[in-house]
Amino acid sequence: MELQIYIDGKWYPKSEAKISVFDHGLLYGDGVFEGIRSYRGLVFKFKEHLDRLWESAHTIMLEIPMTRKEMEDAVIETLRRNKILDSYIRLVVTRGIGDLGLSPWLCKKPTVFIITDKIALYPKELYQKGLEVITVPTVRNLPEAVNPSIKSLNYLNNIMAKIEAKNGGCMEALMLNHQGYVAECTGDNVFMIKKTGKGTAVRDFLLLTPPAYLGALKGITRSAILEVARKLRLPSEERILTRHDFFNADEVFLTGTAAEVIPVVKIDGRKIGEGKPGRITRLLLKGFHELTRRDGVRYTL
């Protein structure tokens, strides 16, 4: 059966799912979205994703044309129609159809569409061996411009950095903010682990990640990892960090809804720690997988 796509209250086969060329989401990137995962019939952190979607829409003064319950029901029904228990969900709200000018008030009704499908950002072997990343010239958007906390349809900033990473022979890029501090990667948050004690217990390590105000998205997987760290009694902090800090970390990893948790073993040619995925990263990954089995909204086909 062909994949079914939700658009404005109806479902269409993938080959027939269309929006207008006058939609301002297409013309100007005027809209917001969420990437969500379902695991074994559980939409992970569904409430948190909807909260962020509504916050993003509120900031750009976009009124979502349905209630949260209606949105939840539409996502669940799309999953059921596609008979998917393990899915990547793309939930998009655009400004809607307008004219060729910028004016958002000429768009009479927002467009909502939902895609439920599979995704694989990185080859499976990189989750075992680790990823190599480089720092790229394109800096993260300033909060005073297009605030990175808004999950908007305008991803050109990230795309430019992604192109630069590929040109440099890597699949992912480390992005700095305009002050030269580490912000995040092109589609993932970034963490580092530093040994602080003499022993090998979890409490002898410190988990660090850049604060969102430096230019990072407030990632749902990022928050989940901080939650897992608390349960493991692993000390954690949001801290202003430089490339020097990451070069000298004992472990580094990235987090994102699509990427989940992927270790980084080299940054700008510098080996991180022992040059392989570390023990604390693996503990956090295990805790994350346990969380995906219980924290969310369940559905059946």
What is the distance between the alpha carbons of residues 164 and 137, in angstroms, rounded to a whole number? 8
pLDDT at residue 69, as a whole number:
98
Beta-bridged to residue 256, according to DSSP, are 260
pTM of the model as a whole:
0.95
Please name the fold of domain 124-291.
Answer: D-amino Acid Aminotransferase; Chain A, domain 2 (3.20.10)
Give φ, ψ of 7 to 5 degrees: -140, 115
pLDDT at residue 208, as a whole number:
98
Question: What are 45's two structure tokens?
Answer: 């952190």
Give φ, ψ of 161 to 5 degrees: -65, -35
Instruction: Give me the active site residues, please.
Output: 151
**Domain 4-117: which CATH class?**
alpha beta
Mean pLDDT by 10 residues, the chain (301 residues): 96 98 98 98 98 98 98 98 97 98 97 95 92 97 92 96 98 97 97 95 97 94 98 97 98 96 98 97 97 96 94
Give φ, ψ of 186 to 5 degrees: -65, -30
Query: Any idea where the domains of the chain sit in the sequence?
Result: 4-117, 124-291
What is the distance between the alpha carbons of residues 94 and 14, in angstroms, rounded to a whole number? 19
Domains 4-117 and 124-291 share a fold: no
